[in-house]
């Protein structure tokens, strides 16, 4: 069950200004896996021409401005057989930001790195949950600038998101070079996903106060 709140300007206005009236609604829908691959690992393409967000913009806000800039890049990547696009920062064009619809994590040894939320990426609740769970499992979690070059040394890469859940990445292609990563049932990504789903389903005791009875 996917639950999505939506706030949209619904008051009449022709000029460039805030709407005089807004409509807030929540819709619920049964859904399958977000990616057409299902639970199969993802194959990502690093985009160094288009940018999802810029400093001082609305990249850290859950709005349509997060998605309109990526549509052309996604269409091109999927046309070439990739699952989705991994974007770089717009200033240096060398630091990871996020995938079109989810956050990115890079694992090397016992260290899990993810781009810091500095206004250009979404601070997703699944991202936050996985950071806490990983820390509880003894991993060192770093929220920082993650250079694209670090992908070459990573053991695992995975994505997180409300609709995505936790998705392992099988490969990332950057400037014509394909990098491959560990996937499967024994991965850290799968371990963290199982714990998160266990808490959500009640199979694992919720000691964090995340579960709300309705």
Active site residues: 62
CA 61-65-71 angle, 5° bins: 130
Of 157, 162, 71, nearest to 123 by C-alpha is 162
Of 177, 175, 172, 150, nearest to 45 by C-alpha is 172
* 81, 43 contact by CB (below 8 A): yes
What residues contact residue 12 under an 8 Å CB cut-off, 6+ apart?
Answer: 20
* 111, 139 contact by CB (below 8 A): yes
């Amino acid at each position: 069950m996917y639950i999505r709140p939506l706030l949209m300007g619904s008051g009449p206005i022709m000029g460039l200004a805030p709407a005089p009236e807004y409509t807030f609604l929540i819709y619920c829908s049964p859904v399958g896996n977000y990616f057409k691959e299902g639970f199969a690992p993802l194959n990502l393409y690093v985009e160094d021409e288009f940018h999802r967000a810029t400093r001082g913009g609305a990249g850290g806000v859950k709005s349509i401005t997060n998605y309109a800039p990526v549509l052309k890049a996604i269409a091109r990547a999927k046309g070439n057989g990739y699952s989705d696009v991994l974007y770089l920062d717009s200033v240096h064009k060398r630091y990871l930001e996020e995938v079109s619809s989810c956050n990115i994590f890079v694992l090397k040894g016992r260290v899990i790195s993810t781009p810091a939320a500095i206004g250009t990426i979404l601070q997703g609740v699944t991202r936050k949950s996985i950071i806490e769970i990983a820390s509880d499992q003894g991993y060192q979690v770093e929220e920082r600038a993650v250079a694209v070059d670090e992908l070459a040394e990573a053991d695992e890469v995975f994505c997180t998101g409300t609709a995505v859940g936790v998705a392992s990445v099988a490969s990332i292609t950057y400037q014509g070079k394909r990098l491959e990563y560990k996937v499967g049932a024994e991965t850290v990504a799968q371990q963290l996903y199982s714990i998160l789903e266990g808490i959500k389903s009640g199979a694992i005791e919720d000691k964090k106060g995340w579960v709300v009875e309705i």
